[in-house]
Amino acid sequence: MDISVLSNIGSEYIKNAAMESGNLTVGDKGFDSLLKSAMDMVNETNDLQNQAEEAQMQFMLGYSTNTHDLRDIQTKSEIALNYTTAVRDKMIEAYKEIMNMQI
């Protein structure tokens, strides 16, 4: 594939193309949207934790014998929890930095 014809394509062009295709929406980028996104992430992490717990119970009761599926669900849940914790830590760090600013 020859990509030499793709000159002068910047991030503004890519953003406009994504907005036209509907893959990108430009909305409120305020604190409200950030908080809503964080709460959605917490809810998704909670759902993954519940799925992992349910899969573990199914395995212990003998309803499921596939250890690979169990490990996959547990790994996905663990990664989501670690990511959520990292985001929480960064938000707390940013809050503390804002509170220590001199006015």
Read off the pLDDT of residues 23-47 as tens digits, 9 standing for 90 and up.
Answer: 445 555 677 777 788 888 899 999 9
Regarding pTM above 0.85, the answer is: no
Cβ-proximal residues to 58 (8 Å cutoff; 6+ apart), any chain = 64
Nearest by Cα to 42 from 74, 80, 92: 80
> How far is CA 26 from each of CA 12, 13, 18, 30, rounded to the nearest angstrom?
13, 15, 11, 12
pLDDT digits (tens, 9 = 90+) for 38-90: 888 899 999 999 999 999 999 999 998 889 999 999 999 999 999 999 988 98
Residue found by looking up tokens 């519940």 in the block? 50
CA 64 to CA 81: how far, in whole Å? 24
